[in-house]
Amino acid sequence: MVERLRRPPAAPAEAPVSDNGERVHGQFPRVRLRRNRRDAWTRRLVAEHRLGVDDLIWPLFVHEGGGPVPVASMPGVERLSLALAVEAAREAADLGIPLLAIFPQIEQALKRPDGSEAIAPNNLVCRAVAAIKRAVPGIGVLCDVALDPFTDHGHDGVIRQGYVANDETVAILCRQAVLQAEAGCDVIAPSDMMDGRVGRVRDALDAAGFEAVRIMSYAAKYASAFFGPFRDAIGSKTNLGLADKKTYQMDPANSDEALREVALDLAEGADMVMVKPGMPYLDIVARVKQRFAMPTFAYQVSGEYAMMKGAALNGWLDHDRVVLETLLAFKRAGADGVLTYFARDAAKLLAKG
Ligand code: PBG
């Protein structure tokens, strides 16, 4: 009905006045941005960004145990047995989620100063990857390359004279990456922030015949307090104790430095780059995407999940709406996809439309 869009006939008697007090010609205001927002169909038509299931990467925690064990600081997230991880992979594939990320909770007894379990054949990560790829070959699997789940001090590398030794750690990471590729991992994600590791890992993968295995580097990864619940989940929190990772992860004060990190990782052969954490670092996502125009991902980390879940469980936030809003915000900032513990929830919501 046309009348629906016509203003009521009672037009103002005097000439219209603009917000800043000037007289204007014709109807005020001529430009009304609210017109395009007026109906659902125009809002859909002019939407600049869209979130789809193809944008989601789902991190899963695995452990040796039989049953699922809840992560206290991440309500709704559980450490899964291998059988349950396979089930989750099936569900993810059915929902259309393209990629899973596997994180292990290693038994304390297997943790060593040099993280040797990281390069032990058939370790928990390898078995999880192999089981998932066997049962659900069509889904992508990503593995972190870093030693923190495997070290008794909780750092991402080996420690020499009180400092995480860069080059020695990189040599171990190369072996870890090849081992994971042998297990069937599709995407190697160095999350350790050692210098020069992407190039060395690329060379090691190629030398072992894995030139098709992709590298998604945690290129701009910050020394963030938002990783707390993750460290809880993989059981590295007590190992790390009061220590921090500031000698290798980036200072939250820095932004230009993130561009240098990304430039180096790309030059060393990274296929995709990641910014982490997510929401407080959308400015970094935007700068990285604008500068390099490369596949760029963001990690909505454990602390962001905990924050949103906690508020939603208290009835302070609308869970489904904040999930979709925050994920869309990553897309708007320039991310091609997001690692998020909400991936399954979001995929279901998106399927509902
Ligand atoms: C391991 C790693 C961390 C995360 C991903 N890989 C923790 C850390 O660096 O201490 C954080 C993920 C999250 O908080 O959800 N290097």
State the SS3 of 23-48: ECCCCCCCCCHHHHHCCHHHHHHHCC
Judge whether 290 lies within some domain: yes
Domain coverage including residue 171: 54-352
User: What are the angstrom distances between the C-alpha of 116 and each of 80, 110, 123, 147, 209?
Assistant: 23, 8, 10, 9, 23
pLDDT of residue 39: 98
- The alpha carbon of 251 is separated from its chain's Cα centroid by a whole number of angstroms, namely 19
Ligand 1 atom index nearest CA of 221: 9
pLDDT of residue 7: 80
Q: What pLDDT digit, counting tens, does each position of 175-234 carry? A: 999 999 999 999 999 999 999 999 999 999 999 999 999 999 999 999 999 999 999 999
CATH number for the domain harbouring residue 82:
3.20.20.70
Confidence of residue 27 (pLDDT cuts 50, 70, 90): confident
Ligand 1 contacts CB of residue 156 (under 6 A): yes
Judge whether 269 lies within some domain: yes
Q: Average pLDDT in the 50-58 region? A: 98
Secondary structure percentages of the chain, helix, strand, coil, to 5: 45, 15, 40
Judge whether 44 lies within some domain: no
Ligand 1 contacts CB of residue 58 (under 6 A): no
Q: Average pLDDT in the 236-250 region? A: 94
Ligand 1 contacts CB of residue 305 (under 6 A): no
Q: How far is the CA of 230 from the centre of ligand 1 (A)?
A: 6
pLDDT of residue 234: 93
Judge whether 316 lies within some domain: yes
Q: How far is the CA of 82 from the centre of ligand 1 (A)?
A: 21
Confidence of residue 8 (pLDDT cuts 50, 70, 90): confident
Ligand 1 contacts CB of residue 71 (under 6 A): no
Judge whether 116 lies within some domain: yes
Whether pLDDT at 276 is above 60? yes
pLDDT of residue 90: 98
Judge whether 313 lies within some domain: yes
pLDDT of residue 3: 73
Please, what is the average pLDDT of the chain?
Answer: 95
Query: Structurally, how many domains does the chain consist of?
Result: 1
Q: For residue 36, what are the contacts with CB-CB under 8 A and spacing of at least 6?
A: 42, 43, 45, 46
pLDDT of residue 11: 58
Judge whether 100 lies within some domain: yes
pLDDT of residue 2: 62
Are 260 and 232 in contact by the 8 Å Cβ rule? The answer is no
Rounded CA gap, 82 and 279, in Å? 31
Rounded CA gap, 23 and 28, in Å? 9
Helix (H, G, I), strand (E, B) or coil at 349: helix
Judge whether 36 lies within some domain: no
Rounded CA gap, 49 and 62, in Å? 34
Q: Average pLDDT in the 51-78 region? A: 97
Q: Does the annotation count 289 as an active-site position?
A: no
Write out the DSSP string of 43-67.
Answer: HHHH------GGGEEEEEEE-SSSS
Q: What pLDDT digit, counting tens, does each position of 129-188 carry? A: 999 999 999 999 999 999 999 999 999 999 999 999 999 999 999 999 999 999 999 999
Q: Does the annotation count 221 as an active-site position?
A: yes
Confidence of residue 282 (pLDDT cuts 50, 70, 90): very high
Write out the DSSP string of 123-152.
Answer: -HHHHHHHHHHHH-TTSEEEEEE-STTTBT
pLDDT of residue 25: 61
pLDDT of residue 22: 64
Ligand 1 atom index nearest CA of 227: 14
